[in-house]
Structure 1
Amino acid sequence: MNTGHTKTWFVTGASRGFGDVWTRAALRRGERVVATARDVSALKPLADEFGDAVLPLALDVTDREAAFAAVARGAAHFGGIDVAVNNAGYGLFGMVEEVTEAQARAQLETNLFGALWVTQAVLPGMRERGRGHILQVSSIGGVAAFPTLGLYHASKWGLEAFSEALAQEVASAGIRVTIIEPGPYGTDWSGSSAVHAEPEPAYEHVREARRAAAAGRVPIDPAVTADAVLAVVDAERPPLRLFLGGYCLPIAERVYAERLATWREWRSLSESAG
């Protein structure tokens, strides 16, 4: 239960997936949301259900000026932004060799730079009020990388990097940063919103192995994440990172163990470099 003041959220990609789930969760407990999506008509169900508590705005997060304008409009309408959720994003599927320049740039423009622009836009108001919480929606793919998703991982690793630095930069201003790292949920990031590179036959065996590894895995309903996200928003000292789902931690433990083992194995060569 939220025991603090009524918060105003700014959510990108609010029309579906996590964005829709968390927007509705905030609104149902009496908070206010600036809900954004590229197609503002997709936000009509939210407006119809929650009325004046939601401000639906069209926003393409790759447009820096538009991001600043949307934040300014939302802040003016509700009197400031308390929680910013950088959720807008999609999956780019393709081997590193396969993705085109346009596909690679578009992936980074949305998943990395889109989050950066919104973050930059909300920070001055948060600093002025001495409080705020920025939720960066990453992924287990922001911690570990898998074949066929190299540029998606690049976008999420970049998001995690600047967000970790940001958390240290703004802590003294009363602003908190949490990197949300979900496992496999049924959010459509790999469905209709995804982009697929033209396949190179030489990599078909890699694709087959990935399909086999994912066979039988049932995506989790994203609705089950609502309470966890509300709890982290309400926390007095929220974590810098939060996995969603039980799928992630074993992968992270394996990945970090492998990294440490490699660094230690090659430590003598490393130290020989001075």
Structure 2
Amino acid sequence: MQNWLITGASRGLGRALCLALAGPERRVHALARDADALRALASERESGQIVPLPLDLADREGLRQGLARCEAIQIGLHGLINNAGIGWYKPFLEHSEQELADLLQINLLAPMQICHAALPGMLQRGAGHIVNIGSDLGRRPLAKMAPYVASKHGLLGFSHSLLREYKDQGLRVSLVNPGIIDTGFGGSDEHGERDPQIFLKPEQLAALVMSVIEQPDNLVVDEVSVHPALQFEF
């Protein structure tokens, strides 16, 4: 059975990814802060197919210790999906220093930290797939989201550089850049609620990620972007 780890697993896209990926051939280690939500998620699949991993990505030392205790990481994950992310739509000067630190930790440093923990086992196995969930804002600027945009630009550079460094050792790295997802993140602003047709459904994006994962071993989707045809321009 393959072992996968998914962050931000308790809701939204992460939850949809867990339900899409977990099954008789894949065990998903679901990482999020909300232990109760993770247990509820695990109950939706056969016993052992989804394993709750309650950790806080903002707590760097707690995350390090939790990853060190995860047996699946030590023996070698088959795949990792760095999905968790936070952000706020507001002027840069209205972000507190703590918000800036938490955003960079969760959106960029935690994915690096988890990759650093998971890579040795993958390389020892001679195979592994890392999927980083970026954003279409990783390739363009946006006022009032400067810290978030910066974190996604960083994740883009990290993903492509990691692939170039380890592709000859059996590692695949994919970056998936979605537009706005219907998860409550970026769901409205001072202009009010948006037309639901401009949002990606978590299940739609999860299906795309599954297609990236299920490519033959000799292929890698290094980057793919997707957004609703009716997505508004910022």
Give the equivalent residue in structure 2 for 1:132.
Answer: 128
Give the equivalent residue in structure 2 for 1:71.
Answer: 67
Q: Describe the superposition over 1:114-148 as per-residue Cα deviations: whole angstroms up to 9, x where unpaired.
A: 11111111111111111101111111011112111
Give the equivalent residue in structure 2 for 1:49.
Answer: 44
Choose between structure 1 and 2: higher helix proportion.
1
- Decide which moves more: 131-140 or 240-249: 240-249
Rounded to whole Å, the distance in 1 between the matches of 2:146 and 2:201 is: 25
Superposition TM-score, scaled by structure 1 size? 0.75
Asked whether the 8 Å contact 1:67–1:121 carries over to 2, the reply is no
Question: How much has 1:93 moved relative to structure 2?
Answer: 1.9
AA aligned opposite 1:98: E
What are the equivalent positions in structure 2 for 1:233-252 lying under 5 Å apart? 233-236=213-216, 237-247=219-229
Give the equivalent residue in structure 2 for 1:231.
Answer: 211
Asked whether the 8 Å contact 2:73–2:121 carries over to 1, the reply is no
Rounded to whole Å, the distance in 1 between the matches of 2:66 and 2:35 is: 12
- Decide which moves more: 26-35 or 153-162: 26-35
Rounded to whole Å, the distance in 2 between the matches of 1:20 and 1:215 is: 23
Rounded to whole Å, the distance in 1 between the matches of 2:138 and 2:24 is: 30
Question: How much has 1:173 moved relative to structure 2?
Answer: 1.2
From 110, 120, 127, the counterpart of 2:106: 110
Give the equivalent residue in structure 1 for 2:20.
Answer: 25
From 154, 159, 163, the counterpart of 1:163: 159
Asked whether the 8 Å contact 1:74–1:81 carries over to 2, the reply is no
- Decide which moves more: 132-141 or 59-68: 59-68
Rounded to whole Å, the distance in 2 between the matches of 1:127 and 1:248 is: 41
Asked whether the 8 Å contact 1:74–1:80 carries over to 2, the reply is no
Asked whether the 8 Å contact 2:30–2:51 carries over to 1, the reply is yes
Do the aligned partners of residues 247 and 105 (structure 1) sit closer, same or farther apart at CA in structure 2, a change above 3 Å counting?
farther
> SS at the partner of 1:178?
strand
Rounded to whole Å, the distance in 1 between the matches of 2:27 and 2:78 is: 10
Rounded to whole Å, the distance in 2 between the matches of 1:158 and 1:240 is: 15
Superposition TM-score, scaled by structure 2 size? 0.87
Rounded to whole Å, the distance in 1 between the matches of 2:123 and 2:93 is: 43
What are the equivalent positions in structure 2 for 1:197-208 lying under 5 Å apart? none
RMSD of Structure 2 on Structure 1 (CA): 2.7
> SS at the partner of 2:94?
coil
Sequence identity (%): 33
Rounded to whole Å, the distance in 2 between the matches of 1:44 and 1:83 is: 21
Do the aligned partners of residues 102 and 76 (structure 1) sit closer, same or farther apart at CA in structure 2, a change above 3 Å counting?
closer
Rounded to whole Å, the distance in 2 between the matches of 1:179 and 1:9 is: 17
Rounded to whole Å, the distance in 1 between the matches of 2:69 and 2:79 is: 15
Asked whether the 8 Å contact 2:12–2:183 carries over to 1, the reply is yes
Question: How much has 1:65 moved relative to structure 2?
Answer: 3.7
Do the aligned partners of residues 188 and 78 (structure 1) sit closer, same or farther apart at CA in structure 2, a change above 3 Å counting?
farther
Structure number, greater radius of gyration: 1
> SS at the partner of 2:110?
helix
Question: How much has 1:239 moved relative to structure 2?
Answer: 1.4
Rounded to whole Å, the distance in 1 between the matches of 2:72 and 2:207 is: 28
Asked whether the 8 Å contact 2:24–2:49 carries over to 1, the reply is no
Structure 2: 5+ residue stretches without partners: none
Structure 1: 5+ residue stretches without partners: 1-5, 195-206, 252-274
Does 1:10 pair with 2:5? Answer: yes
Q: Size of the alignment, in residue pairs?
A: 229
AA aligned opposite 2:116: Q
From 216, 221, 238, the counterpart of 2:195: 216
Asked whether the 8 Å contact 1:34–1:55 carries over to 2, the reply is yes
Question: How much has 1:74 moved relative to structure 2?
Answer: 3.5
> SS at the partner of 1:93?
coil
